[in-house]
Amino acid sequence: MSNKFTILGVDPGTTATGYAFLSADLSSKNNLIPIEYGVIKANPGLKLQKRIEKIYNKIKILVKNYKPDEASIETIFYAKNVKSILSMGEARGAVMLALSQENIPVYEYSPREVKRAVVGNGNASKKQVQYMVKTILKLEEPPLSYDITDAIAIAICHYHKKNSANRQVTKSQHRRYSKK
């Protein structure tokens, strides 16, 4: 079994959906390499149906081009505006449908969980997340959009969770085989 895989991180939104593809290697410490990242922008003047369709179609194209092994997406968080929660859910649905149709496993993480994994603080600001993304990936400049930074952070969070689980399995296997 190879320890190398590609992660897609997605920060869903109906006017801007951030995405990031990272190459990861569990056999090497801190081995995350950005492959591609960007934002799917949809004109807020378009009907929601058309914006959702654009997100779905673009994710399908990106998935076919970059062939991620796993995807990670942000969960819906509490917001004062119910309408924005619902539209974010619709954007998430479009992304999850596109990924499901390609049989890509999807892992969900809360904003607090992502911030804790990347910054070490679940209440970190977007600026702090952006700085840590730049540092972790050794980028000369951080991505200009917080939508991109958040998508990268979601992918990094998934990598850390998977790497942590992998270390636990390796330790238990070691114990199991080393005891007589």
Residue 161 pLDDT exceeds 50: yes
What average pLDDT does this structure show over 52-57?
Answer: 97
Alpha carbons 79 and 152: distance in angstroms, whole number: 22
The pair of structure tokens assigned to 25 is 């290697």
Laid out side by side, the sheet with 106-109 consists of 32-41, 16-25, 4-11, 70-74, 106-109
At 117-143, the pLDDT tens digits run 999 999 999 999 999 999 999 999 988
Query: Tokens 């942590």 sit at which residue?
Result: 164
Residue 168 pLDDT exceeds 80: no
Residue 21: closest CA among 4, 1, 42, 6: 6
What average pLDDT does this structure show over 169-175?
Answer: 44
Partners of 107 in beta bridges: 72
* Catalytic entry in 53, 70, 74, 108: 74
Residue 56 pLDDT exceeds 70: yes
* Catalytic entry in 102, 113, 147, 150: 147
* Catalytic entry in 11, 102, 141, 150: 11
Spans of all domains in the chain: 4-178
**pLDDT confidence of residue 163:** 78
Give pTM, 2 decimals: 0.88
69 a catalytic residue: no
Side-chain-side CA neighbours of residue 174 (13 Å): 6
Alpha carbons 144 and 91: distance in angstroms, whole number: 22
User: Cα 120 to the chain's mean position, in Å?
Assistant: 17
The pair of structure tokens assigned to 81 is 């505006």
Topology of domain 4-178, per CATH?
A: Nucleotidyltransferase; domain 5 (3.30.420)
Residue 102 pLDDT exceeds 70: yes
